[in-house]
């Protein structure tokens, strides 16, 4: 996989004095991907190649103008800044996280409705609003959506979005440099305060104290307060009881992991935003394969779009399978065949002996096929090894099983079944 990325990149300029190398990626997707995943690898290889201790790397895309020798700010920085300016609205609000870019399903409809209600009558209903749920399920998106919506309807509303860890840092900075009055002034007069990942103020007693006062004075003045967290208020360890009970005094609502259908809808929406079309088979495949979070789902989609655009292929089921199998294998190298077989057997109410038996009863052979498929997806074992493990079957039997399962994955109910087995495997491993 790494080679694919390397090949796509060309050298634009080497600035020996600054020890900086300018590389060009064929498009924005590839650039973003390289920036987040491969910078250290590039640095390692290039510094060896160029025989210097450390090299700084700057990526740009093909349509970025070449930086001239005098320019102190490389061209790539300008584009990055321009792009940031596009998406950043006021007070740290990301303009692309809106209600209309959020897909609503059973897993998030309550949180969504509450968030909308808050924007219609800030400070009047559900105060504070407390949204909790696992990582990557859309909490931050909803907080920004509230901010964007309130801003759009009234430009004069003063609004702050802040993550709790930055809030803590701000506070520490304020005490260190004797700027507490500025800190207090900043938060005292807002109409809407959105604090993301409030769990990060746990065990920070002094920050909690300051936060408690801000909370009370805003609350008493009927200002809207919105919080997100990875768990519900009473479960927040390291947060003072009086603060926990304040946090849960309004509306507490959670977001769960989305259903396969919601995941498909999210994928289609994201694909639209990137101006690519996603066929149903690819969307269902991704939705059933990626279980952990919407963020991971989005990551896989971007990965596939990037590989497609890099290699000039269209986005097909085959390509999606190839890309995902590679990433999943890397993440899941520690899952064993034994464990997978146990989870599959348990799911179908069978024993290990059933799975390994000669038996050709339909429900047993179906379970066996799913087992083979999952072993191929989740481990590095060869077809031979998988066949051997499951009752000395030869590799062509395994191959056949895998392709049958892939065929059936087009059915939503079957895809959901396989993904729930996979979830069990991951949870218990």
Among 5, 33, 59, 102, the residue binding ligand ADP under the rule CB under 6 A is 102
Among 98, 139, 368, 393, the residue binding ligand ADP under the rule CB under 6 A is 139
Stretch that binds ligand ADP, among 145-153, 184-192, 242-250, 290-298 (CB under 6 A): 290-298
| 317-376 residues near ligand ADP, rule: CB under 6 A | none
Tokens of 151: 């801003």
Binds 288, which of Mg ion, ligand ADP, none (CB < 5 to 8 A, cut-off by type)?
Answer: none
Residues near 50 by Cβ (< 8 Å), separated by ≥ 6? Answer: 14, 21
Stretch that binds ligand ADP, among 7-15, 102-110, 201-209, 338-346 (CB under 6 A): 102-110
> How many chain residues are in contact with ligand ADP, going by CB under 6 A?
16
Q: Quickly tell me which residue has 């360890």 as its tokens.
A: 237
Binds 135, which of Mg ion, ligand ADP, none (CB < 5 to 8 A, cut-off by type)?
Answer: ligand ADP
Tell me how crowded residue 377 is: count the other CB atoms within 10 A of its CB.
Answer: 21
| 219-248 residues near Mg ion, rule: CB under 5 A | none
Q: Whose Cβ is closer to Mg ion: residue 99's or residue 414's?
A: 99
Which residue has the closest beta carbon to ligand ADP? 138
Among 12, 140, 199, 342, the residue binding Mg ion under the rule CB under 5 A is 140
Is position 55 an interface residue for ligand ADP (rule: CB under 6 A)?
A: no
The answer to whether residues 285 and 317 touch, using CB atoms and an 8 Å cutoff, is yes
Closest CA to 323 of 335, 333, 310: 310
Q: Whose Cβ is closer to Mg ion: residue 107's or residue 140's?
A: 140
Binds 284, which of Mg ion, ligand ADP, none (CB < 5 to 8 A, cut-off by type)?
Answer: none
Stretch that binds ligand ADP, among 101-109, 165-173, 204-212, 412-420 (CB under 6 A): 101-109
Q: Whose Cβ is closer to ligand ADP: residue 149's or residue 371's?
A: 149
Tokens of 290: 């990626």
Binds 377, which of Mg ion, ligand ADP, none (CB < 5 to 8 A, cut-off by type)?
Answer: none
CB of 126 to Mg ion, least distance (A): 20
CB of 151 to ligand ADP, least distance (A): 18
Is position 137 an interface residue for ligand ADP (rule: CB under 6 A)?
A: yes
Is position 163 an interface residue for Mg ion (rule: CB under 5 A)?
A: no
CB of 107 to ligand ADP, least distance (A): 8
Q: Whose Cβ is closer to ligand ADP: residue 135's or residue 180's?
A: 135
Q: x/- contact string, 261-280, with ligand ADP (CB under 6 A)?
A: -----x--------------
Per CB under 5 A, residues contacting Mg ion are: 139-140
Per CB under 6 A, residues contacting ligand ADP are: 97, 102-103, 108, 133, 135-141, 266, 294-295, 298
């Amino acid at each position: 996989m790494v080679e694919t990325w390397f090949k796509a990149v060309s050298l634009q300029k080497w600035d020996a004095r600054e020890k900086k190398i300018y590389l060009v990626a064929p498009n924005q997707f590839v650039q973003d991907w390289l920036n987040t995943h491969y910078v250290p690898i590039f640095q390692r290889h290039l510094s060896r190649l160029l025989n210097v201790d450390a090299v700084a790397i700057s990526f740009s895309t093909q349509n970025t103008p070449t930086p001239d020798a005098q320019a102190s700010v490389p061209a790539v920085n300008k584009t990055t800044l321009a792009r940031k300016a596009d998406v950043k609205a006021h007070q740290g609000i990301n303009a692309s996280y809106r209600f209309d870019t959020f897909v609503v399903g059973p897993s998030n409809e309550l949180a969504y409705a509450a968030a909308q209600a808050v924007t219609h009558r800030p400070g009047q209903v559900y105060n504070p609003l407390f949204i909790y749920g696992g990582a990557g399920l859309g909490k931050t998106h909803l907080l920004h959506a509230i901010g964007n919506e309130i801003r759009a309807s009234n430009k004069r509303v003063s609004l702050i979005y802040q993550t709790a860890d930055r809030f803590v840092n701000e506070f520490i900075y304020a005490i260190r440099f004797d700027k507490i009055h500025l800190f207090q002034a900043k938060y005292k007069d807002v109409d809407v305060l959105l604090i993301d990942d409030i769990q990060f103020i746990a065990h920070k007693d002094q920050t909690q104290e300051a936060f408690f006062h801000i909370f009370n004075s805003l609350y008493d003045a009927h200002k809207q307060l919105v919080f997100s967290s990875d768990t519900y208020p009473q479960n927040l360890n390291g947060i003072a009881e009086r603060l926990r009970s304040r946090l849960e005094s309004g509306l507490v609502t959670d977001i769960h992991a989305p259903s396969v259908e919601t995941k498909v809808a999210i994928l289609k929406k994201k694909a639209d935003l990137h101006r690519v079309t996603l066929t149903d088979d690819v969307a269902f495949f991704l939705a059933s394969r990626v279980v952990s979070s919407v963020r991971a789902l989005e990551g896989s989609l971007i990965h596939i779009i990037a590989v497609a655009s890099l290699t000039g292929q269209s986005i097909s089921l085959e390509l999606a399978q190839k890309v995902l199998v590679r990433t999943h294998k890397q993440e899941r190298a520690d899952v064993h065949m034994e464990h997978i077989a146990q989870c599959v057997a348990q799911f179908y109410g069978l024993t290990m002996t059933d799975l390994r038996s000669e038996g050709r009863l339909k429900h047993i052979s179906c379970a066996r096929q799913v087992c083979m498929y999952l072993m191929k997806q989740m481990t590095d074992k060869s077809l031979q090894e998988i066949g051997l493990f499951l009752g000395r079957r030869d590799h062509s039997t395994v191959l056949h099983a895998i392709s049958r399962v892939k065929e059936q994955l087009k059915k939503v109910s079957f895809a959901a079944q396989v993904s729930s087995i996979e979830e069990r495997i991951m949870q218990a491993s």
